[in-house]
Amino acid sequence: MSKQDIWQGTLALMVLKTIELMGPQHGYGIARRIEQTSGHQLLVNYGTLYPALLKLEQEGYLTSYWDTSDNNRRAKYYKLTRTGKRRIEKATAEWEQATEILARFLSPGEA
């Protein structure tokens, strides 16, 4: 996987999961966290992150509010909603199932 590519659909789950683990977080924080977690194999730029955040917000999984960050800057924070939490559970289950199925194809001997 080249460094910039993030599969459509997986980014949403990464964002939701990140917010679930870290609590309310601003866009920059989310981006850095995803890059760290991926061991800097992923690069999250504005163009991928902000449309995704907006979409999640429009779908009702996130809400946002402006607040002051740790280093005293104003930033827009994203917070998980109740439906967002349910969405994580469902998406995680689906994702696990999908990777498991795919794994059987990729290494047939172990099945």
Partner 1 sequence: MFRRLRASWRRLLATLGGDLHGEREITDELRSHLDHHIEDNLRAGMTRDVAERAARVHAGGLGQTVEQVRDRRGLAWLDSLTQDVHCAARSARRRPKFAVVAVLTLAIGIGTTTALFSLVYAVLLNPFNYEGADRTVNLSLLTDTGAPQGVFLTADQLTQLRRASVVEDAVATDAFGMTLTGGDLPEYARTLFYSLNGPGFLGIRPVLGRIFTEADTLGGGTPARVVILSYAFWRSRFAGATDVVGRTVQLDRTPYTIIGVAPPGFGGDILVPLDMGSDPSHAWSGGMVRLKPGTDLSAAQSELQALMTGFAAESPQRFPPGFRVRVSRLIEGRRAASFALPLVVSFAAAVLLLVVTCVTVSVLSLARGAARLRELAVRQAIGASRWRLVRQLMAESLVLALAGAGAGIAFAYWGTPRALKWLPPNSFPDVAETVYVSGPVLLFGVGLALLTSVLSGLSPALTLSRRRVGGLFQAAMVLVSDADHGRAHQVLVAAQVAFTVLLLAGTGAGVRSLLALLNTPLGYDPSNVLVVSANLPLGSYREWAARATFFEQLRARIASTPQVDAAGMSIYGGVPPRMGWRSLVEVPGRTVPPGMHPIVHRVSPEYFAALRIPVLRGRVWSAAEGQRATGVAVVTQGMARAFWPGADPIGQRIHVPELARSSSQFVLAAPGADGWMEVVGVVGDTPNIGLHDAPAPAMYVPHTVMLGDGAVFAIRTTGAEPLALLRTVREQMQAISPGQAVAQARTAQDALDAGGWARERFVVFLLSGFGVLALVLAVVGLFSVVSFSVARRVREFGIRLALGARRTTIATLALRPLAWSIAAGLVVGVALSTVANALLARWSIGDLTDPVVLKVAWLVHKFNEIAAADGFVPIEVNPSAGD
Q: Which of residues 93 and 103 has its CB atom nearest to partner 1 in the complex?
A: 93
* d(C-alpha 35, C-alpha 55), whole Å: 20
SS3 at position 95: helix
Q: Which of residues 54 and 103 has its CB atom nearest to partner 1 in the complex?
A: 54
CA 66 to chain centre: 20
Give the residues lining the site for partner 1 (CB under 8 A).
26-29, 31-32, 43, 45-47, 50-51, 54-55, 58-60, 69, 71, 73-76
Find out whether 61 and 83 touch, Cβ atoms under 8 Å: yes
Give me the least distance between CB of 35 and partner 1, in Å please. 9
Give me the least distance between CB of 70 and partner 1, in Å please. 10
Q: Which of residues 32 and 104 has its CB atom nearest to partner 1 in the complex?
A: 32
User: What number of other Cβ atoms are within 10 A of residue 76's Cβ?
Assistant: 14
**Strand 62-68 relative to strand 25-26, pairing:** unpaired
Give me the least distance between CB of 104 and partner 1, in Å please. 31
